[in-house]
Amino acid sequence: MSRSPAPPPATARPAATLVPVRDGEDGPELLLLRRADRGDQNSRAWVFPGGLLDAADRLAQPYCDGLDDITASARLGLSKGGLAHYTAALRECFEEAGLLLARDAEGRPVGSELAAEAGWRRALQRGDRSLADLCEARGWQLTVDALQPLAHWITPLGMPKRFDTRFFLAEAPADQVAAHDGHEMVDHRWLRPADALAQQGEGQVTGPARTLLEQLAPLGSVAAMRAWARGLGVPTPIQPRRGRLADGRIAPIPPQHPAYPELGRIDPPGRGSASSVIEPGAVVPLSPAGSVLRVTAPNGSVMTGPGTNSYLLRAGTDNAAGWAVIDPGPDDPAHLRALLAAAPGPIRWILVTHTHIDHSPAAAALKAATGAAVFGQPPLHPEWQDAAFAPDRVLTDGERLVLGPALTLEVIHTPGHAANHLCFRHVQERLLFTGDHVMQGSTVVINPPDGDMAAYLASLQALLDRADDAEAGFDWIAPGHGFLIPQPPRVLTLLLRHRRRREAAVLAALARLGPCDLDTLLPVVYHDVPAQRHPVAARSLRAHLLHLQAQGRVQATGPQWQALSLTSDEAPASLQT
């Protein structure tokens, strides 16, 4: 059954929020308000004072002290109209929390006398009067120069109400007393960031407010918070995407989440139909036409992440043309059943990126069940390999497999993680299936002798050299573990940079320690990796040492390794993980 078209997204309306802070006895505190139960997406949540921009907010510009619209707009990355965001943040804080940053005619901060302006506060809430009217009547100037841009959040697509919100940080007026309005806000608290984050259950802090609290929690004073905010520059827009959680709930998924890019690809309108977690056995369509599917094996571990991905690719315009499977996965009956159930048509081809035991062993059973032909390369070394793997056709670098009118796969030999490792480029989808050559969220283990660091780096560079090519390139990476990965040139560049920095750290450590064995070198070079993972890291360290030895930069005498030279550009550098 075809899915009905998504309705046009709700417009994200301009809004502004103020984060009032003050120094308390036990550290800095922030003012949070609890929203009334209105039956909407933010009911009963703890939030900072804020709301939509009003047309009258621009009228307050003549009463702004220390900032004009040109400067305010530049600080927010706008061409014009930036000052209205500042005045809206001040107005909303006054309406909802009873605080207003302003100076009187003598230049003194407005203090306890603000409590007498309850009538003005109600008039502003009703829209009967404006903040400009209040300033004119009292001779006040708004201290907009005290507001520091803090963040820029945009509500995800698919939400019924959407906001384009600028967040500001400001120190609360010392002589004013916060008071929630009892209408939109039903409670208020001054809380340390850590205490606010610890709140659980109904009415907890969520969304952008939680993210800001997490960022501000390590800072020990209002002065430190303001200094940090000043260093941010123009805030980068943050727009989460809607995705399903493990418990089935739909929630905003932030850009730093590993599922974020994939959610945008497979659920552009933000229906919330895509999962933000990898669920073993679930069938995940990765292309608009449903011609690429992913099914993940139930073998999650420290080494395999959420599990090994198997991909199903449709060869033609309909299911009868047949399907190809890339990496059938481990010898697991449940996963085999999931693959057979997921295929909308006959499975005619089985392709294997390499023969590690979490990628190829199911090929034999899948062939027995379907009669499909098996393609790949046999193992070249016995350790941790599927020794029984016997392809019907041995693939070579550069081959083009035309499996149907909608499926042409280019074979790319990428040794390094394994000597027989292959990547497959889906020509029509511009999608690269990378097995373990590129994984999401971590670097791969290079384990000699089957693993070879020089070959791995050369393979990465070869992929980088072609990634942007109009004919031979690819736009997305489909890894053997994890979600789809965008921006292949950036990813490949970072992987190469990480390995070069790790080797620089090896040389620097040897220069400092002198001749030493691998066990002594390991915790120094991999100080950024948890100790429980050092046995795995030791394999890649050995691969680095062998690579440096082949270059004549280190030598081995028995178990001892020694640097032969250290140039100025091989000094210690911070490592990326």
User: 263 lies in a domain?
Assistant: no
Q: What is the mean pLDDT of residues 206-219?
A: 93
Confidence of residue 575 (pLDDT cuts 50, 70, 90): very low
Tokens matching residue 484: 């789809």
481 with 499, same domain: the answer is no
Query: Which of 486, 517, 548 is where one domain is finished?
Result: 486
Q: Averaged over 405-415, what is the pLDDT?
A: 98
Return the DSSP state at 282: -
Q: Pull the structure tokens for residue 364.
A: 């034999």
Residue-range definition of the domain harbouring residue 546:
495-570
Q: Within 10 A of 43 (CB to CB), how many other CB atoms are there?
A: 13
pLDDT tops 70 at residue 80: yes
User: What is the token pair recorded at 157?
Assistant: 């697509």
Residue pLDDT, tens place only, 325-350: 999 999 999 999 999 999 999 999 99
pLDDT tens readout for residues 292-316? 999 999 999 888 889 999 999 999 9
**In the structure encoding, which two tokens stand for residue 559, read together?**
């178990």
* Residue located via tokens 């789809």: 484
- Two tokens, residue 167: 């967040």
Q: Is residue 6 part of a domain?
A: no
- Element spanning 311, H or E: strand 309-314
Q: How far is CA 449 from CA 75, 454, 455, 496, in A?
A: 55, 12, 11, 21
Do 441 and 552 lie in one domain? The reply is no
Q: Can you tell me the mean pLDDT for 234-239?
A: 96
- In this structure, the answer to whether residues 475 and 503 fall within a common structural domain is no
Contacts of 502 (CB under 8 A, 6+ apart): 525, 540, 544, 575
d(CA 483, CA 257) in angstroms, rounded, equals: 10
Domain finish residue from 463, 486, 509:
486
Q: How many CB atoms neighbour CB 20 within 10 A?
A: 24
CATH of the domain at 537: 1.10.10.10
Structural domains counted in the chain: 3
Q: Name the strand (E) or helix (H) holding 413.
A: strand 407-413
Q: Do strands 27-35 and 46-47 pair parallel, antiparallel, or not at all (unpaired)?
A: antiparallel
Instruction: Give the type of residue at 127.
Output: G
pLDDT in tens, 36-77: 886 666 678 899 999 999 999 999 999 999 899 999 999 999
Answer yes or no: is 233 within a domain.
Answer: yes
Q: What is the CATH number of the domain that holds 80?
A: 3.90.79.10
Please identify, among 238, 260, 289, the residue that sits at the C-terminal boundary of a domain: 238
Q: 82 pLDDT exceeds 70?
A: yes
Residue 104 tokens, joined: 């009187």
- Which tokens sit at 1? 């059954």
Is residue 296 domain-shared with residue 205, that is, in the same domain? no
Q: In terms of domains, do 395 and 333 share one?
A: yes
Does the pLDDT of residue 520 top 70, yes or no?
yes
Let me know whether 225 and 283 are in one domain.
Answer: no
| C-alpha 117: how far from chain center | 45
Strand-pairing partners, residue 145, are none
- Claim to verify: residue 288 and residue 222 sit in the same structural domain: no
Same-domain pairing of 533 and 482 = no
- Whole-number mean pLDDT of the chain? 93
- For every residue of 41-95, DSSP letters joined together read TTTT-EE-SEEE--GGGGGGGGGBSS--HHHHHHHHT-SS-HHHHHHHHHHHHHH
Q: 185 and 52 in one domain?
A: yes
Instruction: Determine, yes or no, domain membership for 91.
Output: yes
Between CA 275 and CA 289 the distance in angstroms is 18
Does residue 289 fall inside a structural domain?
yes
Q: Are 140 and 24 part of one and the same domain?
A: yes
In a domain, 431, yes or no: yes
pLDDT score of 9: 77
| Alpha carbon distance 278, 275 (integer Å) | 7
For residue 333, being part of any structural domain is answered with yes
Under the banding of pLDDT at 50, 70 and 90, the label for residue 382 is confident
Is the domain of 311 the same as that of 437?
yes
- The verdict on residue 512 lying in a domain is yes
CATH code of 401's domain: 3.60.15.10
Query: Do residues 121 and 47 both lie within one domain?
Result: yes
- Give the rounded percent of residues in the chain with a pLDDT score beyond 90: 87
pLDDT in tens, 434-484: 999 999 877 899 999 999 999 999 999 999 999 999 999 999 999 999 999
pLDDT the model gives residue 92: 97
Looking at 467-517, list the stretches that DSSP marks H as alpha helix, in order from N- to C-terminal side: 488-513
